[in-house]
Amino acid sequence: MLKQWLRKPFGVLLLVTLVVVLGLHQPAPAQVSDQTVPGASAAIALPFNADTDSTTLLPPDLSQSDAPYGDSRVVIGADERRPVLTREFPWVAMGRLEWQIQGEAISTCTATLIGPSAILTNSHCLILPLQDGSGDLVDTFIEPGDYRGLIADNADLRLKLVFKPSLIEGIALDEAEIISYETGWSTNYMVEKDDWAVLRLADALGDYYGYMG
C-alpha cells in the first residue's frame, strides 16, 4: 500500500516536504534562570594581602599533570574514590594539616599552598578536643591569639600545628610548622560562609612545591 501511495506525484511531494521541514526544525534553546537561590551566601570580599595573594607558581623543576592517580584522570565518586599517587603539580601543592602531640597527629585537615609560606584551609580545622575543668574532652575553637598559649615549655608535651605537602599513602617528604594564622571564625561567630583560614608557615615550602594563587 505504501509503495502504491508513493508512486503518486502528490504522495511523493508530501513526503519530501515533511522530511525537509523536520530536518530544518531545531528545538528552542532552554531559558537560563537568573534568579538567586534562596538562602545562598553572598560572595565574601577579602582584602588583598601581598604576602599571601599571588599568581600560581609552578616550579621549573616540577612537571604538571591532570592525573592524580599517576596515569589516568580520576573522577572522585561516592564509592570510587582513589588516592593521589603523583608528585606532580598541582597535586604536590595540596597536603595535610595536623595537630600533633609528641609527633602523633590528634586531628587532621586538608590544606593547600597559596603562597611561598601560606596555606588555605578551614576555620573548623582549628577546633580541637581539649579537656575542660572536669577532665572531659570538649571541642574547642583555637583562636589565633590563643594558639601560642597552647605551646608548652616541655617539648614532650608541646602541641604543634604542622603542614605536610604532597602526602602519598601517609608519607610526606617535608613538613613545616604553623607560626600564625587568620580566620573567618571566632569563638562567638561560626558561620559556614566564613569557614576559611589562612595559615603562615615557618618555611617557604611553596618555593619548592609550587602554590595556587
Distance CA 64, CA 88 (A): 5
Question: For position 63, what pLDDT does the model report?
Answer: 62
75: in domain = no
Selected residue with higher pLDDT from 52 and 107: 107
Give the tens place of pLDDT for each residue, 57-104: 667 766 666 555 455 444 555 556 667 777 778 888 899 999 888 788
* Domain ranges, residue 161: 91-209
143: in domain = yes
53: in domain = no
pLDDT surpasses 60 at 174: yes
Please report which confidence band the pLDDT of residue 115 belongs to, taking 50, 70 and 90 as the band edges: very high
Question: For position 184, what pLDDT does the model report?
Answer: 92
154: in domain = yes
Question: For position 140, what pLDDT does the model report?
Answer: 84
Lowest-confidence pick of 14-18, 89-93, 139-143? 14-18
144: in domain = yes
Distance CA 8, CA 14 (A): 10
Query: 165 CB contacts (<8 Å, ≥6 apart)?
Result: 92, 93, 94, 95, 113, 172, 174, 175, 205, 209
pLDDT surpasses 70 at 12: no
pLDDT surpasses 70 at 11: no
Identify each DSSP E strand in the chain by its residue range: 94-101, 104-115, 118-121, 127-131, 137-141, 159-165, 176-183, 197-201
Average pLDDT in the 126-144 region? 80
Q: What is the CATH number of the domain that holds 159?
A: 2.40.10.10
Residue 42 has, within 13 A of its CA and on its CB side, a CA count of 3
Note if the bond before 90 is cis, omega within 30 degrees. Answer: yes
Beta bridge partners of 111: 95
203: in domain = yes
Average pLDDT in the 30-52 region? 46
pTM above 0.85, yes or no: no
Beta bridge partners of 177: 162
159: in domain = yes
Distance CA 169, CA 113 (A): 19
Average pLDDT in the 198-213 region? 91
Beta bridge partners of 176: 163
Q: Which residues of 97-112 are buried (b: 16+ CB within 10 A; e: fewer)?
A: bbbbeeeeeebebebb
Average pLDDT in the 41-53 region? 52
Average pLDDT in the 51-57 region? 62
Average pLDDT in the 24-34 region? 40
Distance CA 166, CA 97 (A): 11
Distance CA 88, CA 66 (A): 9
76: in domain = no
Distance CA 181, CA 177 (A): 11
Question: For position 53, what pLDDT does the model report?
Answer: 57
Distance CA 61, CA 89 (A): 10
Question: For position 136, what pLDDT does the model report?
Answer: 78
Question: For position 111, what pLDDT does the model report?
Answer: 95
Neighbours of 58 (CB within 10 A): 17
What is the dihedral angle through the alpha carbons of 44, 49, 50, 51, rounded to the nearest 10 degrees? -120
Look at the chain and report how many structural domains it folds into: 1
